[in-house]
Every structure is written in structure tokens, then in C-alpha cells.
A and B are shown apart, each in its own frame.
Chain A
Amino acid sequence: MSIVVDIVLFTLLGATGFALLKVRNLFAVVMLAGIYSLLSAGLFTVMDAVDVAFTEAAVGAGISTVLFLGALALAGHHEHRPGHTPLLPLVVVVVTGGALVYGTMDMPGFGHPENPVHHHVADHYLEESYDEIGIPNVVTSVLASYRGYDTMGETTVVFAAAVGVMLLLSGARRARSRASPAEGGESAGGPERPRNDSAAGAGKGDE
């Protein structure tokens, strides 16, 4: 039964992906990307990854859509027709895809308990984690305890990305002038700029 749901959802997902390719209005593209995320969240639930489904629904269909819309509002939403013929990309994609499909022929089938993935640390996590960590949700115990370093690195990456966004978007808007090298040097070497700017923003908020 669940395999039927699985196949249906995957087919819908493929159709959404194809639509993403064809549609040229970027607002529609962003909405389709939200649908794509929601469908994949459903698939994650069918495939027992409830934590992942949760995250994907909140991130992909929620925050990500809002951020894309924000970017579109700043950058315009019409996509030009590609000027060159898409023949070369098509060949590259077909060849790569063919090679990957050929590779899957040697992969073990979907959902067999004997698959090699299930037999290294996974057994340990499932059998010992309650004794060692004491909480039933194995995903949480692996995430926060067994692989705590990993999660700390990810948290730092998220923080670093936010710092990048702040540096990029805090400065004043200005069109590109002739002295483009100077501009690059200025935005790279001027950490005071975003600070002043956002301090002004915060002050405005307090009033």
C-alpha cells in the first residue's frame, strides 16, 4: 500500500519538476517550488523520515518561499527566453542521467532490510541508544549526541551564511559605477557599514 503512495507521489514530483523547467514567470516558479517541497515532505513521511518531513515542510514550503518572494520583489520576476540553443546542456544532462541510471542497476532494491546501509552504525544506534542516551527519538539522540560535532558544524555554517547575507544586503543600494574594483574593495573591507546601517534600523524600531 505504502509503495503505491510512494510511486504516486514520486510521479507527481516528477511532473512538478518538469513544470518548473517550463514555466517562465518566476512567481509561478517559486510557487511550484513550494509545491515541490510540500510533495517531498509527504514522501519523507511515507519513507518514515518524520523529522525530515517536518523540517522540509517548515523550511521548503514556508521560509524558503517567503525568501524567494522577497528576492523577487527586489529583483523583478520576468525570465528572459534563453538566447542560445539548449542542445549542449541537453546532451550533457542526458549523458549524465544515463550514466547514473546505469549505476542504479547495481544498487540494492528499495526497502530491503538486508541492504548494506542498514548494517554498520545504524544497528548500534537502534539497539543501544536508549541505554546510552535515554531518549526514545533515535534521530534526536544521534543528531545531538552521537554526532554532536557534526551538528555544531552545521549550526556554525548556518550562522556564517547569515553573516554573509548581512554583509551583502546591509549596505546602501547603489548602481554599478565605473570604478567597480573600488566598490568590491569597499564592501569587502567595510565591516562598519552594515553595523551602522542596522543600528540605525534598530533605533528606528525602538521609536
Chain B
Amino acid sequence: MREEIIVRVGAKFLAPFIIMFALYVHFHGDYSPGGGFQAGVILAAAFALLALVYGLEAVQRVLPLWFTRMCAALGVLIFAGVGVVTMLLGHNYLGYNALAADPTHPEHGQHYGILLVELGVLVTVFGVMVTVFYHFAGRGRRDP
């Protein structure tokens, strides 16, 4: 597809909007449908689109494999780390009430907790999807 001008321009035009939409879905997930899972998949889809049109090497210059693999692990770490932080603050594991600055409003802590945890989910799902895609797409090419 590298020679198709309409596909190339269209993909380049669409990709930033898809990424923007993924971030909207993520950060607006408290008020409308959406959240880390959906946002991670949509974000990965944007890079998959670019890789399909421009080739794997071009996308891996922007988003190298080591980075997506690190993302996959980092997200789980963020999620579990939130639990450890709340435990260090004297609450249960993943008891987000501990994160509230003002103890009379525990729901503020819930807000922070959910935002952080969803960030972990986003990072992991994005990293996993892109890593898996890279492996399937790059399998045939690294051959001698």
C-alpha cells in the first residue's frame, strides 16, 4: 500500500485524530462510555494503521519495540503500585479512599485512584496490543 497516495494521505490525516480520540475516551471515561481498555486498543489501532500503510520500520522508528514492551510491564506496575501506595497509607490494598487529600471527602481519593488505575490499564493494553502486532507483522521480515 506504500504507493497508494490516497491511502497514505488518509492514514496520515486520520492517525492524530484517532490518537486524540483515544485520549478523550480515556480521560472522559468517568463521565461517558470509555476507559483504559478501550483507549488502549484504539491507541494501538492508530499505530497499526500507520504500520499497515507506511511499513513496520517507519512506525518502529517512532515507537520502538523496547518501548512498547516496557509499556506492557509498566502498566501492571502502575496498577499494582497504586495498591501498594494505598496500603502504605494505612488502608486496604487498592482502597483508593487513602488517596484523598481531605479525609472528609473520600470520593476524591476514589477519583484519583480510578484515574491512576485506568492509566495503568491503558499503558498495559496499548503496550501489549502493539507488541503483539509488531511480532506478527515483523515475523516474516527478519529472516536471513
Show 25 residue pairs from A and B whose CB-CB distance is below 8 angstroms, ordered by the A residue. Answer: A58-B41, A62-B41, A66-B45, A74-B136, A134-B110, A140-B35, A145-B110, A145-B114, A151-B117, A152-B76, A155-B79, A158-B125, A159-B73, A159-B124, A162-B72, A162-B128, A165-B132, A166-B69, A166-B131, A169-B135, A198-B65, A198-B66, A201-B138, A202-B66, A205-B57
Contact A201 B128 (CB under 8 A): no
Contact A199 B133 (CB under 8 A): no
B121 within 8 A of A: yes
Q: How far is the CB of A134 from chain B (nearest CB, A)?
A: 3
Q: Which of B44, B107, B117, B136 is in CB contact (< 8 Å) with A148?
A: B117
Residues 130-153 of chain A: 1 if any B CB is under 8 Å from the residue's CB, otherwise 0?
Answer: 011111110111011100110110
The secondary-structure label for the interface of chain A is helix
Q: How far is the CB of A110 from chain B (nearest CB, A)?
A: 22
Size of chain A's interface in residues, with CB distance under 8 A? Answer: 52
Give chain B's interface residue range (CB within 8 Å of chain A): 35 or more
- A162: chain B residues at CB < 8 Å are 69, 72, 127-128, 131-132
- How distant is the Cα of A190 from the Cα of B45 in the complex, in angstroms? 31
Contacts from B to A (Cβ < 8 Å): 25, 29-35, 37-38, 41-42, 44-45, 48, 52, 57, 60-61, 64-66, 69, 72-73, 75-76, 79-80, 83, 93-94, 96, 107-108, 110-111, 113-114, 117-118, 120-121, 124-125, 127-129, 131-133, 135-140, 142-143
- How distant is the Cα of A202 from the Cα of B69 in the complex, in angstroms? 11
Known: A148-B117, A161-B128. A135 touches B143 (CB 8 A): no
Known: A145-B114, A197-B142. A67 touches B132 (CB 8 A): yes
Contact B136 A67 (CB under 8 A): yes
Known: A55-B37, A201-B138, A205-B64. A144 touches B131 (CB 8 A): no
**Extra inter-chain contacts (16) besides given A139-B35, A198-B65, CB under 8 Å:** A51-B33, A51-B35, A51-B38, A55-B41, A63-B45, A66-B48, A67-B133, A70-B137, A135-B111, A136-B31, A137-B31, A148-B83, A152-B76, A152-B83, A162-B131, A166-B69
- A152: chain B residues at CB < 8 Å are 76, 79-80, 83, 94, 117
Contact B83 A137 (CB under 8 A): no
- How distant is the Cα of A70 from the Cα of B120 in the complex, in angstroms? 27
Q: Which of B34, B60, B69, B140 is in CB contact (< 8 Å) with A51?
A: B34
Contact A173 B143 (CB under 8 A): yes
- How distant is the Cα of A141 from the Cα of B129 in the complex, in angstroms? 24
